Structure 1
Amino acid sequence: MTNADVIRAHYAASDAGDIDGMVAPLSPHVTWTEAAGFPYAGTYSGPDEVVRNVFARIAEDWDAYRFTVDEVIDGGDTVVGIGAYSGTYRLTGRFFEARVAHVWRLKDGVVTAFEQFTDTAMVQKALRGSA
């Protein structure tokens, strides 16, 4: 299995709502960075922090939240996933869609770091309920 296959499997687990499958490739010491301006912005260490501060909060706050992958770029130890987020924020009832890139760093098939780049202005509009 290539590193790109590892990331494709993560995305497939995400589509299936399989949290265990999503965290399976993460190192116990993974650093996971959500973009500034994103509701879950920050850098988290380890799978438990990622689940608690990102995955669980998304599940609590959004209806039909998903990442639709358009392309996975295999750069060896660096893999990039490009696509779009979408979902409806429960508190405002506002839907959003925003382009996103994920940069994954792997060693021996294990994710050691993740960084998200996204159009946070689109997400903020849904949070605020403004047009």
Structure 2
Amino acid sequence: MSTSSRTALDIIRAHYAASDRGNIDGMLVDMHPQVRWTEAAGFPYAGTYVGPEAVARGVFARIAHDWEGFGFHLEQLVGSGDAVVATGSYRGTCRGTGRAIDVRTAHVWKLADGRVTAFEQFTDTLLVDRAVGTK
């Protein structure tokens, strides 16, 4: 199946499936070279990362280093055209403190021409901060 025949929902489902398998290359495969990936203010990896490599280094590698069993547990995907919203929860245990989280989260995705062009995270950063020991 070519990228152009997949819907935005298909592409985001594939991203989460790759994440569940721990396949970072699979998570990055449909990202535009200039993707803008925004982690929420107050989140340990807060900021906007531009490009798949910046996302891999600035977000995914840091999560793998800092957390045991971290994952986004998808509950619902809603899409309209080239926009997708995912709701679910982050779960995992902070390696530095041994504290676990189960935090409600939403992701907003934008796509163009079968590529992810933007991602924005919404989550309860206070609960995450408490787990990492900064609050």
TM bin, normalised by shorter chain, reads: over 0.9
Structure 1: any 5+ residue segments left out of the alignment? none
Following TM superposition, the consecutive aligned residue runs of length 4 or more in structure 1 with deviations greater than 2 angstroms are: none
Report what 1:106 is aligned to.
Answer: 111
Inter-partner Cα distance in structure 2 for 1:26 and 1:70: 22
When normalised by structure 2's length, the TM-score is: 0.94
Partner of 2:17: 12
Shift of 1:129: 7.5
**2:94 alignment partner in structure 1:** 89
Give the Cα–Cα distance (whole angstroms) in 1 for the partners of residues 57 and 134 of structure 2. 25
Task: Please state how far the C-alpha of 1:75 moved relative to its aligned partner.
Answer: 1.4
Indicate which of 67, 71, 74 corresponds to 2:79. 74
1:45-84 equivalences under 5 Å are 45-84=50-89
RMSD: 1.0
Separation in structure 2 between the aligned mates of residue 26 and residue 3 of structure 1, nearest angstrom: 12
Counterpart mapping for 1:108-123 below 5 A:
108-123=113-128
Q: How far is the alpha carbon of 1:109 from its aligned partner? A: 1.1
CA offset at residue 51 of structure 1? Answer: 0.3
In structure 2, C-alpha distance between the alignment counterparts of 1:129 and 1:120, rounded to whole Å: 11
Q: Deviations over 1:83-113 (max 9, x none)?
A: 0001100010000110010000000110000
- TM-score, normalization by structure 1: 0.97
The answer to whether the Cα contact below 8 Å between 1:63 and 1:90 also exists between their aligned partners in 2 is yes
Provide the residue aligned with 2:130 in structure 1.
125
Q: CA-to-partner distance for each residue in 1:22-68, whole Å, 9 max, x for gaps?
A: 00010000000000010000000000000000000000000000100
* 2: CA distance, partners of 1:104 / 1:65: 20
Aligned letter for 1:75? S
Unaligned runs of 5+ in 2: 1-5
Aligned partners of 2:84 and 2:113: how far apart in 1? 13
